[in-house]
Structure 1
Amino acid sequence: MPGDAVRAPSRTQARGEHEIVVTTVPPVRVAAVPSAHPYVAAITDRDHVTLLSDPPPPGAPAGQWWPPQVLLPSWLEAHADDFDLVHVHFGIESYSPDELRATVETLRRIGRPLVYTVHDLENPQLSEQDAHRASLAVLAAGADALVTLTDTADAEVRGIVHRPTTVIAHPTLLGDAPRPTGHVHDVARIGVHLRDLRPNIDGVGTTATLVRAVAALRAEGARIEAVVRMNERVRDAEAAASIDLLVRDADGVSVERGARLDDDALAEWLADLDACVLPYRHGTQSGWAELCYDLAVPVVGTRIGHIAAQHPGDFHAFDVGDPLSLARAMVEATAPAWSTPGSTPRTAEVDRRRAERLAERSEVRAAHVAVYRRALDTEVAA
């Protein structure tokens, strides 16, 4: 049983006339879905948790974890002695609700708890959400513990599944090293990164709204420019062509196309911005909002999901198709002194947040260990 793994027998040491009882508690062995993900690395206390490596899917290239093999009943049964619990984060779109129901039933049969972090009430990789919501319902009903990232997401999940969750904040994904603080520009620089134009990115609508908002502000004398970045390889070539056309003759707006930025290059790109526009048409939370917070880059975003609840003081809302709302949000976002890249206030704010976030990360890791221990205790009691 999983409880045996976290409650090893005590051993007694003799010291004179007294006995000292030393209790050894081995790390919890977690089969995370996925394991090789920056978020999972950030929440994991390596002193108290051992992460299993992602089982390689048959025929997949090296480093690919999807479709996640951990969710297959055959894998769970074959490796039941190798892990204490399963923690699901991402990748459930690889399987149908019925297949996930079989996953839950297998975990119950072999006596291993399921922890589910509800990152995505809406899946950013999908346009249609019905199957995702059905899969979410299966996992939420079958999980021994549910985790959410914000109080507002917690309230929504409770309303759907009528079960309590544990709210644990999204930790920093940056390491312990100093963060970039950007370079001084003579204009306010606004950026929007459309990445590969995945389904939840409204690249055309956001760009059209941005072009009109920047033009209006520049007409009033504002010193502002915007850059729209896309990956070289995108999922929607027609949308990319429309974006190029929208920006071609735009005043103060340019398009960048390039290879996918690695983590360090992305941080450097964001740090050079006075504000970052998030172009989402649907979603729940945003790792980009967390990275922007780490770098003291204010966020301008659409009113979707629970992104505004992640760091409310840094979030400025706009509506796609309403350039006035975007212009107003950009003015508000660039008002604080610390919004200016390369400035002394920006550097001081980044340093302050770095210390705050590293302390928070320790709390987040401890909170996950506590969730795991409770889930194991519940399974043993059952």
Structure 2
Amino acid sequence: MSITVASVPASHVYIRHLGHPRHEHPSVEDVQRERRPEAAVLRLPDPPAARSDTPTGAPWWPPAMLDPAWIAAHEFDLMHIHFGFDAQTPTQLHEVFDALDARGRPLIYTAHDLWNPHHEDPTLHDSQLEVLFSRARAVITLSEQAAAEIRERWGVEAHVIPHPHVVDLDLISDYAETPRRRAEEFRLGIHLKSLRANMVGVEVLQAALAALREIPGSVLQVDLHRDVFEAAGLRHDAELVRWLQDQDPDLVDLRVHDFYTDAELFDYLSGLHTSLLPYRFGTHSGWMEAAHDLGTTVIAPDVGCYRSQGADFLYRWQDSGLDAASLRRAVHAAAAQAGSQQAGSAVPAVTSVEKPWLTPTAAARVGWRREQRERIAAAHAEVYARALSGS
């Protein structure tokens, strides 16, 4: 028997990789041929969004499923919310969940963000989480640290199911066999995108560059979008642009462009030894998972749950601002580890048990992600079955 899930959204890469890897796009016939519970999960496709100017990379926003009328008119067994409720007030969310209750359809919620990275003020997001945690039949999150915070703040026990791979399995193999990074340098990347609310520019760049000046053969690659760099851009940051233009181009490789396609993003991450996340707050990171798919290590802040998710190196934020000394230590440790991956280095390499994303062969890295995804699929199927049985 299959379980039909109204997934909000369905086309996001995280959700697409929750199913068993042998069932990327399962049909009813596929399900009937399989006996395993994880093969019996069918996710409805995203309905057309209500607006034509949907954001780049999110054609499903705003999600049409978060509407009592849609819920009343469509057949499914349960609803699983991940993203897309940002524009809903707590009252509107209650109305959506009342419509689910009227049809006897359980709500599952995966808590990706405990502090929305787009919101400086967490008040609205906190009020939305209060509704989601109080109404969900089951809650999932991505790390033990997030589960502990959910338990402490909301009194809810969350299932911990890790983030699956972001890069498709066949592409992970291709990139592992032909990595883009150069062995003769240490390339640290900081991608500022469009400077969303939780990102810091000059302060983090200055500290990272100071650390790299002490490491021979190092390069700081800085990427940002045109809307930040160009004077007419909606998010133009004149101070940041001036700082970047004053740097030595032999040390700072500045690249200005629009939103990356998936292929461009994967090429970018594969060309780095380490990616540094310039965040003041946040919770989890799909960016980190994509980097690990490609064998790229990650320096993350000690805020949120990045450590518990699997960040390779940490730096600190304090009440007074960035702890530059901790960022320096993290950059030096990342460079040393990158050197340890080179033959003949005196620095011992980490083991694949500690960091499976640094396994030396394509088959090993793909095998790690495939096995993890199989466990993720089985865990979701179990959560769904329990929710439907009322246990």
Determine if contact 1:273/1:341 at 8 Å carries over to the other structure: no
Which of 106, 120, 131 is matched with 2:124 structurally? 131
Separation (CA, whole Å) in 2 of partners of 1:99 and 1:343: 61
Separation (CA, whole Å) in 1 of partners of 2:84 and 2:196: 15
| 1:209 to partner: Cα distance | 2.6
| 1:318 to partner: Cα distance | 4.2
The structure-2 alpha-carbon separation of the partners of 1:321 and 1:29, relative to structure 1 and needing over 3 Å to count, comes to same
Which of 64, 68, 78 is matched with 2:63 structurally? 68
Cα root mean square deviation, aligned: 2.5
Q: Is 1:224 aligned to residue 218 of structure 2?
A: yes
Which of 30, 33, 37 is matched with 2:12 structurally? 37
Q: Is 1:248 aligned to residue 245 of structure 2?
A: yes
TM-score, length-scaled by structure 2: 0.82
Of stretches 115-124 and 228-237 in structure 1, the one that deviates more from structure 2 is: 228-237
Determine if contact 2:225/2:258 at 8 Å carries over to the other structure: yes
The structure-2 alpha-carbon separation of the partners of 1:337 and 1:195, relative to structure 1 and needing over 3 Å to count, comes to closer
| 1:236 to partner: Cα distance | 5.6
| 1:94 to partner: Cα distance | 1.5
| 1:273 to partner: Cα distance | 1.2
User: Where does 1:1-382 land on structure 2 (aligned, <5 Å)?
Assistant: 25=1, 27-45=2-20, 46=26, 47-61=39-53, 64-79=59-74, 82-177=75-170, 178-180=173-175, 181-215=179-213, 217=214, 222-234=216-228, 237-239=235-237, 241-251=238-248, 252-312=251-311, 314-319=312-317, 321-337=322-338, 348=360, 351-378=363-390
Q: How many residues align?
A: 346
The structure-2 alpha-carbon separation of the partners of 1:191 and 1:59, relative to structure 1 and needing over 3 Å to count, comes to closer
Q: Which runs of 5+ in 1 are unaligned?
A: 1-24
Separation (CA, whole Å) in 1 of partners of 2:361 and 2:303: 27
The residue type paired with residue 171 of structure 1 is P
The residue type paired with residue 323 of structure 1 is A
Q: Deviations over 1:347-381 (max 9, x none)?
A: 71554232111110011011111111111111xx7
| 1:324 to partner: Cα distance | 2.7
Separation (CA, whole Å) in 1 of partners of 2:344 and 2:306: 27
The residue type paired with residue 335 of structure 1 is A
Separation (CA, whole Å) in 1 of partners of 2:181 and 2:259: 22
The structure-2 alpha-carbon separation of the partners of 1:266 and 1:341, relative to structure 1 and needing over 3 Å to count, comes to farther
Separation (CA, whole Å) in 2 of partners of 1:341 and 1:105: 58
Determine if contact 1:119/1:149 at 8 Å carries over to the other structure: yes
SS of residue in 1 equivalent to 2:86? helix
The residue type paired with residue 138 of structure 2 is A
Q: Deviations over 1:213-253 (max 9, x none)?
A: 334x25xxx331201101223476332x3222112232412
Separation (CA, whole Å) in 2 of partners of 1:318 and 1:210: 13
Determine if contact 2:115/2:283 at 8 Å carries over to the other structure: yes
Q: Which runs of 5+ in 2 are unaligned?
A: 21-25, 27-38, 350-357
The sequence identity of aligned pairs, in percent, is: 33
| 1:211 to partner: Cα distance | 3.2
The residue type paired with residue 247 of structure 1 is L
Determine if contact 1:182/1:342 at 8 Å carries over to the other structure: no
| 1:315 to partner: Cα distance | 2.8
SS of residue in 2 equivalent to 1:125? coil
Determine if contact 1:274/1:339 at 8 Å carries over to the other structure: no
Separation (CA, whole Å) in 1 of partners of 2:286 and 2:344: 25
Higher Cα Rg: structure 1 or 2?
1
TM-score, length-scaled by structure 1: 0.84
Separation (CA, whole Å) in 1 of partners of 2:341 and 2:82: 35
Of stretches 27-36 and 294-303 in structure 1, the one that deviates more from structure 2 is: 294-303
The structure-2 alpha-carbon separation of the partners of 1:253 and 1:318, relative to structure 1 and needing over 3 Å to count, comes to farther
The residue type paired with residue 384 of structure 2 is Y
Determine if contact 2:291/2:297 at 8 Å carries over to the other structure: yes
Separation (CA, whole Å) in 2 of partners of 1:342 and 1:131: 51
The structure-2 alpha-carbon separation of the partners of 1:90 and 1:168, relative to structure 1 and needing over 3 Å to count, comes to same
Separation (CA, whole Å) in 2 of partners of 1:65 and 1:369: 24
Determine if contact 1:100/1:138 at 8 Å carries over to the other structure: yes
Separation (CA, whole Å) in 1 of partners of 2:297 and 2:344: 15
User: Which stretches of structure 1, 4 residues or longer, exceed 6 Å deviation after superposition?
Assistant: 341-347
The structure-2 alpha-carbon separation of the partners of 1:211 and 1:57, relative to structure 1 and needing over 3 Å to count, comes to same
Determine if contact 1:184/1:343 at 8 Å carries over to the other structure: no
